[in-house]
């Protein structure tokens, strides 16, 4: 704490030298690189505004002031707030138990808590729905989606808890503060960016969720946008709804800035690899184990059970099975490069907001979160509109699809990267620069390696999301390229559940692999992926 106060005092007393020092910390090449994501994000925003204008003022007013619009707003709000709250509670508890308590089998629980990421929400929803009609509707959707989305809070939060400098905690404990007070005063403020970033992602997911909600018969702004496109062949009123959805995203996107406050969370020493004392659970051991088990049954057991059921029954079993190889290749060949593109594109925005610090940088960093709440359909149509007019040669090539992926999923990379980036001290770069490195080289040799834990989480989150991405892939993928997700979608929409089951199983398996690998890389102490020491020389 005194560290923060000291820094605040320093800023107040001597703003000028500080400003100069901070400015040097971010190489101009990074600033330049940030213009690419900003340009990408602007595309769907401009498209939605142009198309909304097509509806005219009367059209916009007619769309806004309707009983139905009120209902859609209500459903969207209830769903978003409830699922985000539940995901924070479940993901937060899970992260604390696996990172800070003496819960037995933490390595296993860690992997289990990440695995729901591999289960696409529409597959999970179908599984739950087939148990009985009572899981349909808003209540069921809140339960099912909370269970499938809490890892978005768990993963960044666990990574943050793990890479946090234990020094201040040890100081706090040595000053006689109890574990509770230490957690509140030291750990919680430092974990908030990760938790807030994860919660933002969950909220944005809820705003844009389509497949699961339509299976569960919940009507939100997003399902209404899809319905609008199904109902008529004039995209104006769907665009008006999209513009409303973006307005809805604004408080979500900017709210977290307040959550973060002005706290400084970086560290100078590289002490985080030291082992931290675990909090004994004592009498809470059994409730903690029970909680973990129930979460795993709800989030994993039931969806996997139903998937297995469809694998062994149904007349369409085996139909189209020869397509599984091409679909698998399709998924990998789109998701893996897409992941790398998305993560690279997100990086400068994170650094810009963190180091540039100005208001414009912060707004730029938030914009992807506003667009993240838009349905993939709208972003895809924006890219159709733009690419066919500006660059017809790239239309229906992978390049346009990767741009759509970057627009849709940049915030996943951002939140994971920022959790790590905030822990990197700019002074380290200064040290490198006083040793004669240029700004860019100092950045590459000092800051980038320190981002490794966040980078792993970023790659994991984006890869998983891209594996199951459906609507943008359907519209923008090169003709003839199918993915596991698009095969599952088209087979289930023909009612061929047994035929779809192997594709769904392959999708879950192939997603489970990166979840496992990246979880180890992100969270495993001393894991091979954690090259924490900067090369100096």
Nearest distance from C-beta of residue 519 to other proteins, angstroms: 33
Q: Which of 396, 437, 452, 517 binds other proteins (CB under 8 A)?
A: 396
The answer to whether residue 231 forms part of the interface with other proteins (CB under 8 A) is yes
Quick check: 536 binds other proteins (CB under 8 A)?
Answer: no
Count of all residues that appear for the chain in the document: 537
Q: What minimum distance in Å lies between the beta carbon of 479 and other proteins?
A: 5
Binding mask 249-288 for other proteins (x = CB under 8 A): ----------------------------------------
CB of 320 to other proteins, least distance (A): 8
CB 110 within 8 A of CB 172: no
* 32-61 binders of other proteins (CB under 8 A): 32-36, 39
* 411 vs 414: CA distance, rounded Å: 5
Please tell me the distance from the alpha carbon of residue 534 to that of residue 452, in angstroms, as a whole number: 11
Nearer to other proteins, 59 or 167 (CB): 59
End-to-end CA distance of the chain: 34
**Pick from 44, 47, 63: nearest CA to 55:** 63
271 phi/psi in degrees, rounded to 5: -100, 0
Nearer to other proteins, 73 or 81 (CB): 73
Residue 63 vs 165, nearer CB to other proteins:
63
Pick between residue 174 and residue 479 the one whose CB is nearest to other proteins.
479
How far apart CA 13 and CA 23 sit, in angstroms, is 18
Sequence-distant (≥ 6) Cβ neighbours of residue 147 within 8 angstroms:
90, 116, 124, 295, 298, 299
Binding mask 72-111 for other proteins (x = CB under 8 A): ----------------------------------------
C-alpha closest to that of 339 among 108, 518, 82: 518
Of 398, 418, 468, 521, the one binding other proteins (CB under 8 A) is 398
The reply to whether 23 sits near other proteins by the rule CB under 8 A is: yes
Within residues 421-480, the interface with other proteins by CB under 8 A covers 474-475, 479-480
User: Rounded to whole angstroms, how far apart are CA atoms 91 and 135?
Assistant: 22
Which 125-164 positions form the footprint of other proteins (CB under 8 A)? Answer: 130, 132-133, 136
Distance CA 3, CA 12 (A): 14
What is the contact mask toward other proteins in residues 496 to 535, using x (rule: CB under 8 A)? xxx-------------------------------------
303-342: contacts with other proteins (CB under 8 A): 314-316
Site for other proteins in 106-125 (CB under 8 A): none
- Pick from 2, 175, 230, 526: which binds other proteins (CB under 8 A)? 230
Residues in a beta bridge with 267:
424
| CA dist., res. 155 & res. 521, Å (int) | 12
* Strand-pair partners of 424: 267
Q: Residue 370's closest CA among 349, 389, 385, 391?
A: 349
Query: Quick one: tokens of 68?
Result: 């139905």
CA distance 75 to 66: 15
Q: Considering CB under 8 A, how many residues would be counted as binding other proteins?
A: 72
The footprint of other proteins on residues 335-394 (CB under 8 A) is: 355-358, 377, 381, 384-385, 388-394
């Amino acid at each position: 704490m005194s560290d923060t106060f000291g820094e605040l005092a320093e800023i107040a007393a001597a703003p000028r030298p500080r400003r100069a020092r901070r400015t040097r910390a971010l190489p101009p090449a990074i600033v330049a690189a940030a213009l690419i994501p900003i340009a990408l994000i602007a595309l769907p925003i401009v498209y939605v505004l142009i198309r909304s204008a097509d509806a005219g003022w009367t059209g916009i007013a007619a769309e806004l002031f309707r009983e139905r619009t009120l209902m859609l707003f209500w459903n969207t709000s209830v769903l978003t707030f409830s699922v985000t709250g539940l995901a924070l509670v479940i993901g937060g508890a899970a992260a604390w138990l696996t990172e800070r308590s003496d819960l037995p089998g933490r390595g296993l629980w860690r992997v289990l808590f990440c695995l729901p990421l591999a289960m696409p929400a529409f597959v999970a929803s179908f599984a739950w729905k087939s148990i009985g009609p009572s899981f349909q509707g808003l209540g069921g959707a809140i339960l099912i989606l909370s269970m499938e989305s809490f890892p978005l809070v768990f993963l960044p939060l666990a990574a943050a808890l793990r890479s946090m400098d234990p020094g201040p905690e040890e100081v706090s404990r040595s000053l006689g503060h109890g574990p509770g007070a230490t957690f509140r005063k030291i750990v919680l403020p430092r974990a908030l960016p990760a938790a807030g970033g994860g919660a933002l992602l969950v909220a944005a997911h809820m705003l844009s969720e389509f497949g699961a909600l339509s299976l569960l018969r919940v009507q939100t702004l997003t399902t209404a946008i899809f319905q609008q496109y199904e109902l008529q062949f004039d995209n104006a009123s769907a665009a008006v709804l999209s513009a409303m959805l973006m307005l809805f995203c604004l408080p979500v996107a900017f709210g977290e800035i307040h959550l973060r406050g002005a706290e400084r969370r970086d560290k100078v020493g590289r002490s985080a690899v030291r082992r931290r004392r675990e909090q004994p659970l004592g009498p809470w051991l059994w409730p903690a184990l029970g909680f973990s088990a129930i979460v795993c049954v709800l989030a994993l057991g039931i969806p996997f059970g139903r998937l297995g059921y469809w694998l062994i029954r149904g007349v369409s079993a085996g139909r189209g099975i020869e397509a599984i190889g091409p679909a698998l290749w399709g998924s990998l060949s789109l998701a893996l490069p897409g992941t790398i593109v998305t993560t690279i594109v997100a990086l400068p925005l994170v650094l810009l907001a963190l180091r540039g610090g100005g208001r414009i940088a912060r707004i730029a960093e938030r914009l992807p979160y506003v667009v993240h709440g838009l349905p993939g359909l709208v972003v895809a149509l924006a890219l159709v509109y733009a690419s066919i007019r500006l660059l017809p040669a790239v239309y229906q090539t992978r390049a346009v699809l990767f741009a759509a992926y970057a627009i849709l999923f940049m915030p996943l990379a951002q939140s994971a990267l920022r959790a790590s980036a905030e822990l990197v001290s700019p002074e380290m770069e200064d040290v490198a620069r006083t040793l004669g490195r240029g700004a860019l080289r100092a950045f590459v040799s000092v800051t980038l390696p320190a981002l490794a834990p966040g980078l792993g989480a970023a790659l994991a989150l984006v890869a998983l999301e891209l594996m199951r991405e459906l609507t943008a892939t359907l519209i923008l993928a090169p003709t003839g390229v199918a993915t596991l997700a698009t095969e599952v979608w088209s087979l289930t929409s023909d009612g061929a559940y047994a035929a779809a089951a192997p594709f769904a199983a392959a999708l879950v398996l192939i997603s489970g692999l990166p979840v496992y690998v990246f979880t180890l890389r992100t969270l495993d102490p001393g894991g091979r992926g954690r090259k924490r020491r900067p090369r100096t020389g």
